[in-house]
């Protein structure tokens, strides 16, 4: 491991619209690079410009705490920050990778977020998050803290090969059980599901069943991207060692899409396996409203509910007007409750969407959303 200390110019990433996968408004990378060195890591792709040898070298933003304090301080801001979750993790690093043991940047960031009363959503693969359990519990008592763990499956042998630097799935599950015992909501990000390695019915069902047994609050599912260049080269080396026949099989799945996406036919097939498993074990496929409703503003709540309905309908092969409407609404500055009589002027808001919007504005939710989430 080689740690390179750097001084960043800014830290907090403000999203143009609320992010409905993580229900976050803001994000941050405290490190760049990750010694967990997962074979499939998307952060390895050239487009993210992580310097050095990925998996070994890590940039450490040693001035992160000063920057964050400055960027959150309302007295230093011309326009106050919107209420919303700060997403800690993901992107080009795991925020609880081994360097955190030395530098404590994540802990400092959480302390600052607690002082400024921001809700947080942490995503990690590391049990080092337990070091901060008391602090996370404090945030959850004052606002909201959620901790999610990512898994490509719960199979320890596969994890050892494809995620060489992270605790075994069973240890992550124990960490979840402990955090849940403290009243902290926990999610599973079942991603990336690795083609021909963790995408079988048995493996996906086992992961969902295990999540149910562990008391996890929701599971978000995702496929694997494979971008040409160093991400693909590294992954294929590991895959070849795992099973020399598999690289050839990948030709039928990845066709050189610039985002590295799998073919839609393949992705839909594994999505259907997941959908059936999630229904069978009654696991919500998106973060449930009860976990975030009090900590985001009215417009963001509407956008998230529409996007979640859109996802749930479309992944079941149904049509949905909600995604486009959510996108249009995200450009609206006024509170939607002040536009009750003019909602139809917004692009994508037809009679059906207007009815749904009014129901959400009146009750905080809508029957269609509750039905889809409860399926």
**Which residues would be at the binding site for ligand SF4 (CB under 6 A)?**
34, 36-38, 41, 43, 93-94, 125, 166
**SS3 for 94?**
coil
120 touches 59 (CB < 8 A):
no
- Closer to ligand SF4 by Cβ: residue 37 or 320: 37
Q: How many other CB atoms are there within 10 angstroms of residue 48's CB atom?
A: 17
- Closer to ligand SF4 by Cβ: residue 159 or 210: 159
- Closer to ligand SF4 by Cβ: residue 86 or 114: 86
Minimum distance from residue 133 beta carbon to ligand SF4 (Å):
20
Minimum distance from residue 103 beta carbon to ligand SF4 (Å):
16
- Closer to ligand SF4 by Cβ: residue 25 or 125: 125
**SS3 for 135?**
helix
DSSP secondary structure, 220-286, as one string: EEEE----TTHHHHHHHHHHHHH-TTHHHHHTTTB---TT-PBPHHHHHHHHHHHHHHHHHTT--SS
- Closer to ligand SF4 by Cβ: residue 29 or 275: 29
- Closer to ligand SF4 by Cβ: residue 41 or 356: 41
Separation CA 20–CA 267 (nearest Å): 20
Minimum distance from residue 41 beta carbon to ligand SF4 (Å):
3
Query: Apex CA 366: angle with CA 361 and CA 371, to 5°?
Result: 170
Residue 146 to residues 22, 159, 222, 276, Cα–Cα distance (Å)? 10, 24, 19, 25
Minimum distance from residue 238 beta carbon to ligand SF4 (Å):
12
- Closer to ligand SF4 by Cβ: residue 93 or 357: 93
Query: Phi and psi dihedrals of 145, rounded to 5?
Result: -130, 135
- Closer to ligand SF4 by Cβ: residue 120 or 302: 120
196 touches 249 (CB < 8 A):
yes
Minimum distance from residue 120 beta carbon to ligand SF4 (Å):
18
Instruction: Determine the length of the chain.
Output: 375
Minimum distance from residue 341 beta carbon to ligand SF4 (Å):
47
Sort 365 into a burial class: Cβ within 10 Å, 0-12 / 13-18 / 19+.
middle
Minimum distance from residue 356 beta carbon to ligand SF4 (Å):
36
Minimum distance from residue 373 beta carbon to ligand SF4 (Å):
27
- Closer to ligand SF4 by Cβ: residue 23 or 38: 38
- The label of the residue with tokens 């049509």 reads 319
- The label of the residue with tokens 């899409």 reads 257
Structure tokens at 231: 């991400």
Could you tell me which residues come within 8 angstroms of residue 229 by beta carbon, excluding any fewer than 6 positions away?
A: 45, 46
Minimum distance from residue 194 beta carbon to ligand SF4 (Å):
12
Minimum distance from residue 135 beta carbon to ligand SF4 (Å):
21
- Closer to ligand SF4 by Cβ: residue 22 or 369: 22
Separation CA 321–CA 209 (nearest Å): 32
């Amino acid at each position: 491991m080689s740690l390179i200390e750097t001084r960043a110019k800014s830290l907090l990433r403000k999203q143009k619209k609320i992010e409905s996968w993580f229900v976050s408004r803001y994000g941050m990378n405290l490190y760049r690079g990750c010694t967990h060195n997962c074979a499939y890591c998307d952060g390895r792709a050239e487009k993210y410009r992580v310097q050095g040898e990925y998996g070994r070298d890590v940039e450490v933003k040693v001035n992160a705490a000063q920057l964050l304090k400055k960027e959150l301080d309302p007295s230093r801001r011309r326009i106050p920050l919107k209420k919303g979750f700060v997403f800690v993790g993901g992107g080009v690093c795991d925020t609880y990778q081994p360097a955190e043991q030395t530098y404590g940047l994540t802990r400092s960031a959480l302390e600052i977020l607690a002082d400024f009363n921001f809700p947080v959503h942490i995503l990690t693969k590391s049990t080092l998050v337990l070091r901060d359990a008391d602090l996370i519990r404090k945030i959850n008592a004052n606002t909201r803290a959620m901790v999610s763990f990512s898994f490509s499956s719960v199979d320890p042998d596969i994890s050892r090969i494809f995620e060489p630097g992270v605790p075994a799935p069973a240890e992550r599950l124990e960490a979840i059980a402990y955090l849940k015992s403290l009243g902290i909501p926990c999610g599973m990000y079942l991603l990336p599901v690795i083609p021909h390695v963790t995408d079988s019915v048995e493996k996906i069902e086992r992961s969902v069943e295990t999540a149910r047994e562990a008391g996890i609050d929701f599971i978000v599912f995702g496929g694997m991207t494979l971008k040409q260049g160093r991400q693909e080269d590294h992954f294929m080396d590991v895959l070849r060692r795992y099973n020399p026949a598999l690289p050839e099989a990948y030709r039928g799945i990845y066709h050189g899409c610039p985002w590295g996406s799998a073919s839609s036919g393949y992705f839909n097939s594994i999505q259907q396996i997941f959908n059936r498993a999630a229904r069978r074990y009654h696991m919500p496929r998106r973060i449930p409203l009860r976990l975030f409703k009090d900590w985001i503003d009215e417009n963001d709540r509407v956008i998230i509910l529409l996007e979640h309905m859109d996802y749930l309908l479309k992944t079941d092969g149904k049509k949905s007007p909600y995604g486009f409407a959510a996108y249009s609404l995200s450009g609206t500055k006024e509170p939607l409750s002040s536009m009750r009589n003019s909602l139809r002027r917004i692009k994508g808001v037809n009679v059906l969407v207007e009815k749904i919007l009014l129901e959400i504005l009146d009750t905080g939710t809508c029957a269609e959303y509750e039905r889809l989430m409860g399926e």
